[in-house]
């Protein structure tokens, strides 16, 4: 069940454009010891509120600069973290078959409220509750109603891709993937509330190019077999006397979604409430007409690389959902003569992709990475799709820094990754950044990409944030990074240690910290209301009501407080449109942290 967020009426009670003084964070600092304590009890949700025993409790500094801590509740559900330095911490409770609980979160699987602790402060009354995960169960049967054992069943929850912002599917718990038993039954557990689809994949070999076909028997073959059985004329070990049929029809099982459809857009979604158990979510597997997709790969210079890998991936508007469901397509490798073949291909729209790795055949030097692709439509008839390889695109990147400069050791902790839409979050990662901030990504297939900059050093990650990104003179910050065929890319990413942002304190009518809200900041320019936009940010106020968001581009923004918000839901422009009317406006200036305090209800 999806709960729509309620928008709180907020008013601005203070606004300042002065840049806050930003103290440099020191790398390689020793792990601090402190005198503060965070302790409390974990209970099991329900009327009886029983102690939650053997729950793993984690405590993490929100900046990542202080190593996290872990403990386990005792028989009374109690836990304690002692010797803490002052800071802001996230507290979580985790137990198998239960839903992860974060302190201050209104629902399971939501971001929590950071706990602010001062030197010497003793917070000993923290109370949290964990709820049992929901259950979806059912059976898998064939077209005649017979149980089908050994089928992989995945119960998948609708979510948003964290990088691209696309609507996708995720496995929400370790118990969400099952194999049917001898009765054809499955049971997925530990499920958080939300919307689900159920997928049954009867082919263990799915994803390979040599998926076997099944040929239906002709009426003549059936009659001949029955006659042989009645007369006993069949001799064990004797050659078959049945004539080979002339039909080319081949069939096979295909992955199906509840209740028994091969098209994900026709799947029946399942709405699951908190700790709800839904039985009878059955699936019927079915045969579909299959075909082969084959061809030969050509190379402009005639020298075929040692390894040519091919993938046949679903195409169309549901690509990201299918990738999230694990249906990324079949894979194959070209033969020494450049030929390839995919068998057992179900009807549908596909993109055929080829990429190369390794050197040329016969000991030739390693050539540049090559690629090819083609759109393929399969409708039960064999398809021939020749491909001609062409050079991939090399990206030469340069990270530049405004303000202070990172040390060479810090630069070694920086990397970049590009993510192709519809890939389910698959990343192509850069080479190591050199002491001058330069890196390369080779053999990139032309397309559009979202990018990620990641530091393995939490101190460096907190200090430097991306300010801008340009590639061949084109903006690559507010719009995806575009890679065109035959056009090498010169990519510059600018970091700053004086990021633009907004922060403040959220209060209730009485002036107390209002912690039970989600704060959303998003551009007033609707052009930027796109999936994965860098001008949209969600925050949770800490126990002192403080919130902040850094690394936003300068400009005009809406600021709103909501009672609940699904992770990634801000990628939906209809939600932004709905809350814009009750939001306040704030202007962010380049290189400044703008203070904007808020009060619920005026």
Measured distance CA(295)–CA(482) in Å, rounded: 29
Kindly report, residue by residue over 510-552, the tens digit of the pLDDT. 999 999 999 999 999 999 999 999 999 999 999 999 999 999 9
| pLDDT at 157 (0 to 100) | 97
| pLDDT at 242 (0 to 100) | 46
pTM: 0.84
Fold for domain 32-130?
A: Immunoglobulin-like (2.60.40)
Q: Kindly write down the DSSP assignment for every residue of 263-285, as one continuous string.
A: -GGG---EEE-TT-EE----EE-
Kindly report, residue by residue over 171-191, the tens digit of the pLDDT. 999 999 999 999 999 999 999
Once rounded to an integer, what is the mean pLDDT over residues 571-582? 95
How many residues in total does the chain contain? 602
List, by residue range, all CATH 2.60.40.1120 domains of the chain. Answer: 134-216+248-287, 292-391, 393-496, 501-600
Spell out the residues 6+ positions from residue 363 whose beta carbon is closer than 8 angstroms to its own: none
Degrees, nearest 5: CA angle 289-295-300 = 155
CATH architecture for residues 501-600: Sandwich (2.60)
Once rounded to an integer, what is the mean pLDDT over residues 573-582? 95
Tell which CATH classification among 2.60.40.1120, 3.30.70.600, 3.40.1380.10, 3.60.21.10 matches the domain 393-496. Answer: 2.60.40.1120
| pLDDT at 564 (0 to 100) | 93
Domain 134-216+248-287: assigned CATH number: 2.60.40.1120
- With a pLDDT cut of 90, the percent of the chain lying above it is 68
At 289, which helix (H) or strand (E)? strand 287-298
- Please give the class, per CATH, of domain 292-391: mainly beta
| pLDDT at 18 (0 to 100) | 46
Measured distance CA(431)–CA(442) in Å, rounded: 9
Average pLDDT in the chain = 87
Q: Is 229 exposed, middle or buried (0-12, 13-18, 19+ CB in 10 A)?
A: exposed
Measured distance CA(435)–CA(566) in Å, rounded: 40
DSSP code for 558: E
DSSP code for 96: T
Kindly report, residue by residue over 450-477, the tens digit of the pLDDT. 999 999 988 899 899 999 999 999 999 9
Does the pLDDT value for residue 70 go beyond 70? yes
Kindly report, residue by residue over 128-181, the tens digit of the pLDDT. 999 999 999 999 999 899 999 999 999 999 999 988 999 999 999 999 999 999
Confidence of residue 281 (pLDDT cuts 50, 70, 90): very high
Does the pLDDT value for residue 252 go beyond 90? no
Query: Which residue from 499, 528, 518, 519 is spatially nearest to 588, judged by alpha carbons?
Result: 499
| pLDDT at 218 (0 to 100) | 64
Confidence of residue 3 (pLDDT cuts 50, 70, 90): very low
Q: 488 pairs with which residues across the strands?
A: none
- What values do phi and psi take at 41, rounded to 5? -135, 145
List, by residue range, all CATH 2.60.40.10 domains of the chain. Answer: 32-130
Q: Is 184 exposed, middle or buried (0-12, 13-18, 19+ CB in 10 A)?
A: buried
Once rounded to an integer, what is the mean pLDDT over residues 569-574? 95
């Amino acid at each position: 069940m999806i709960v729509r967020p309620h928008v709180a009426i907020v008013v601005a009670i203070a606004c300042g454009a002065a840049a806050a003084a930003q103290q440099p964070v020191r790398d390689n600092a020793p792990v601090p010891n402190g005198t503060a304590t965070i302790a409390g009890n974990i209970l099991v949700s329900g009327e009886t509120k029983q102690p939650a025993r053997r729950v793993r409790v984690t405590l993490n500094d929100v900046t990542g600069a202080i190593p996290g801590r872990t403990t386990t509740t005792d028989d009374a559900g109690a836990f304690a973290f002692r010797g803490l330095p002052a800071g802001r911490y996230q507290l979580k409770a985790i137990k198998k078959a239960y839903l992860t609980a974060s302190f201050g979160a209104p629902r399971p699987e939501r971001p929590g409220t950071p706990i602010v602790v001062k030197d010497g402060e003793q917070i000993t009354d923290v109370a949290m509750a964990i709820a049992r995960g929901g259950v979806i169960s059912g059976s898998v049967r064939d077209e005649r109603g017979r149980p089908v054992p050994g089928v992989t069943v995945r119960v998948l929850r609708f979510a948003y891709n964290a990088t691209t912002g696309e609507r996708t599917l995720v496995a929400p718990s370790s118990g969400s993937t099952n194999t049917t038993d001898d009765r054809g039954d499955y049971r997925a557990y530990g499920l958080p509330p939300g919307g689900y689809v159920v997928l049954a994949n009867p082919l263990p070999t799915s994803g390979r190019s040599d998926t076997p076909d099944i040929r239906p028997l002709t009426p003549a073959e059936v009659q001949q077999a029955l006659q042989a059985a009645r007369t006993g004329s069949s001799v064990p070990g004797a050659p078959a006397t049945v004539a080979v049929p002339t039909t080319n029809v081949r069939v096979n099982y295909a992955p199906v979604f509840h209740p028994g459809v091969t098209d994900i857009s026709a799947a029946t979604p399942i709405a699951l409430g908190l700790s709800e158990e839904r039985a009878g979510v059955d699936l019927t597997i079915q045969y579909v007409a299959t075909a082969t997709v084959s061809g030969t790969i050509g190379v402009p210079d005639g020298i075929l690389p040692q390894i040519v890998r091919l993938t046949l991936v679903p195409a169309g508007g549901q690509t990201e959902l299918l990738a999230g469901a694990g249906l990324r397509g079949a894979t194959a490798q070209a033969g020494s003569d450049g030929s390839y073949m995919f068998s057992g291909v179900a009807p549908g729209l596909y993109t055929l992709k080829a990429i190369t790795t390794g050197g040329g055949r016969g000991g030739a030097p390693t050539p540049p990475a090559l690629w090819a692709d083609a759109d393929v439509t399969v409708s039960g008839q064999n398809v021939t799709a020749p491909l001609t390889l062409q050079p991939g695109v090399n990206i030469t990147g340069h990270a530049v820094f405004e303000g202070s400069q990172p040390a060479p050791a810090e630069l070694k902790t920086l990397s970049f990754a590009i993510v192709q839409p519809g890939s389910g979050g698959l990343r192509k990662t850069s080479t190591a950044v050199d002491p001058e901030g330069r890196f390369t990504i080779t053999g990139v297939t032309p397309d559009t990409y979202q990018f990620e900059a990641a530091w393995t050093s939490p101190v460096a990650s907190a200090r430097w944030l991306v300010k801008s990104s340009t590639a061949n003179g084109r903006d690559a910050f507010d719009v995806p990074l575009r890679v065109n065929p035959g056009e090498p890319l010169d990519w510059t990413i600018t970091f700053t240690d004086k990021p633009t942002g907004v922060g403040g304190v959220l209060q209730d009518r009485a002036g107390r910290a209002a912690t039970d809200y989600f704060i959303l900041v998003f551009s007033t320019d609707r052009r930027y209301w796109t999936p994965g936009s860098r001008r949209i940010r969600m925050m949770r106020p800490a126990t002192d009501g403080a919130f902040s968001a850094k690394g936003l581009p300068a400009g005009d923004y809406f600021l709103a407080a909501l009672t609940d918000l699904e992770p990634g839901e801000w990628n939906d422009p209809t939600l932004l449109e709905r809350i814009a009317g009750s939001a306040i406006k704030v202007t962010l200036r380049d290189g400044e942290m703008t203070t904007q305090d808020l009060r619920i209800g005026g």
